[in-house]
Amino acid sequence: MAKHKKKVNAKTTSQQKRHRRQWVTFMRMCRYGVNNFTRNAWLTLAATAVMTITLFVVFTSVVARNVLVDTLSQLRETVQMSIYLETETVEADVDQIAGDLRELPSVLTVAVASPDDARANFVEDSRNDLDSLAALKEATNKFPWTLSIKVVDINDTSELSTYVTDNEFAKERIDESLPPSFAGSKRQTIETIAGAANFAQNVGIVSSIVFVGISMLIIFNTIRMAIFNRREEIQMMKLIGAEKSFIRGPFVVEAIVYGFFAALFASALGYTMMFFAAPTLRSYFTIDPTLELLSLYVGFVLLGMIVVGALLGIISSLMATRRYLKL
């Protein structure tokens, strides 16, 4: 029993020593990596600057895409499809057409405005336009019945088009001088913003890929030069039997430090740009939801940027050490 206990204690002591040795080795690699980071100021500055630009492009691409999507969603919620019925149409017929439209799966809501309501809305919208109000007083024609329709997807108006084309009851009462308006200028605005969102996403992806490649190349060359400058020291470490991980570790740590500082700089630059540009952007885009997310989750954003920067550094350093250290 005592003999078994001694074996257990010896095994535990051995494990503790091994863990302590591993920890000391890890701390040495980190210290050497940080020292390498400060050895060559110009190389360090170049690598950190390019990675900062890379992460800033990634940050900007994600934020811009989110802003455009929010803007598009808000416009979609406010856009209504309009069908105009003749002024003389009786209210019962208008209600029947509105009921038919509400039964369509693609229709969310249908609001009915009488000719008097349409006139009052026009006066309200044109209260600052004296010419339009003067023309209204001289006009003899009356406003039509207006059916304002919200649909599930503004890009899919096939059911509405089929209804106004094939339904004889509705066709007889639609105002021929005012064909159905499926969002008009607002629809064009939404399509423009949708195209801009897709374009911004594609440009952001391409730009991110280009800068990621440039950043990895510079870090790769930086690590390669560090290996070249320390070739005698590395050769001696190999001769005395240093483990591969101990030789490679400081270079990996050095690259991670590049990514860490680049993430801090890129995040600070991105947040500064967003909040200073907010008053101008708010006039054209819906940016408040994005600003709120950035404010609430600043820690997660920073952590994500650090992870991306660290991954770029790790991949670049592993490629360089694998090729030039021949480990």
pLDDT reading at 86 higher than 50: yes
Is 122 a member of any domain? yes
Residue 11 counted as domain residue: no
pLDDT band at 140 (very low <50, low <70, confident <90, very high): very low
- Whether residues 284 and 240 share a domain: the answer is yes
CB atoms within 10 A of CB 275: 12
In a domain, 19, yes or no: no
The H or E element that residue 300 is part of is helix 298-324
Per-residue pLDDT for 94 more than 90? no
Q: Is residue 18 part of a domain?
A: no
CA distance 179 to 170: 12
Higher pLDDT, 22 or 129: 22
What is the distance between the alpha carbons of residues 53 and 19, in angstroms, rounded to a whole number? 40
Spatial contact of 105 and 219, defined as CB atoms under 8 Å apart:
no
Bigger pLDDT: 252 vs 291: 291
Give the domain-ending residue among 182, 215, 240. 182
Distance CA(48)–CA(222), nearest Å, equals 11
Q: Assess whether 105 and 248 both reside in one domain.
A: no
230/1: higher pLDDT: 230
3 state DSSP class of 243: coil
Find the distance separating the first CA and the last CA of the chain, reported in whole Å: 46
Q: Is there a domain that residue 10 lies in?
A: no
**Which domain, by its residues, includes 130?**
80-182
**Residues 324, 235 contacting (CB under 8 angstroms):** no
In a domain, 27, yes or no: no
* Residue 241, Ramachandran bin (φ over 0: left; ψ between -120 and 50: alpha; else beta): left
Q: How confident is the model at residue 268 (pLDDT cuts 50, 70, 90)?
A: very high
Looking up tokens 């001088």 gives 177
Same domain, residue pair 264 and 175: no
**Beta pairing partners, 250:** none
pLDDT of residue 133: 46
Q: Which of 142, 163, 182 is the last residue of a domain?
A: 182
Residue 207 lies in a domain: yes
Quick one: 205 and 252 in the same domain?
yes
CB of 119 within 8 A of CB of 101? no
Indicate whether 173 and 97 sit together in one domain.
Answer: yes
Domain count, the chain: 2
Residues 212 and 319 in one domain: yes
Same domain, 214 and 287: yes
In the three-class reduction of DSSP (H, G, I as helix; E, B as strand; rest coil), residue 107 is classed as strand
We report the CATH number of the domain holding residue 127 as 3.30.70.3040
Task: Check whether residue 213 and residue 65 sit in a common domain.
Answer: yes
Question: Is the model more confident about 69 or about 193?
Answer: 69
Average pLDDT over the chain, rounded to an integer = 76
| Segment holding 85, helix H or strand E | strand 81-85
**Domain edge (last residue) among 161, 182, 203:** 182
204 shares a domain with 158:
no
- 84 has a pLDDT exceeding 80: yes
Residue 247 and residue 256 in contact, taking contact as beta carbons nearer than 8 Å: no
Distance of CA 4 to the CA centre of its chain: 61
Does residue 100 share a domain with residue 52?
A: no
pLDDT at 97 over 80: yes
61, 209 Cβ separation under 8 angstroms:
no
Q: Residue 68 — pLDDT band, cuts 50, 70, 90?
A: confident
CB distance 263 to 309 below 8 Å? yes
* pLDDT for 223 beyond 80: no
201 lies in the same domain as 293: yes
> What mean pLDDT do residues 144-162 have?
80
For 113, the enclosing helix (H) or strand (E) is strand 107-113
List own/partner pairs for 284-288 with CB under 8 A and 24 or more apart: 285/67, 285/68, 285/70, 285/71, 286/67, 286/70, 286/71, 286/73, 286/74, 287/67, 287/70
What residue type is assigned to position 102 of the chain?
Answer: R
Round to whole Å and give the CA distance between 186 and 193. Answer: 11
What average pLDDT score do residues 276-295 get? 86
Is residue 104 included in any domain, yes or no?
yes
Contacts 24+ apart (CB under 8 A), 38-45: 39/226, 40/222, 40/225, 40/226, 43/222, 43/225, 43/226, 44/222, 44/258
Report angle CA 42, 46, 47 to the nearest 5 degrees.
120
- Same-domain check for residues 64 and 84: no
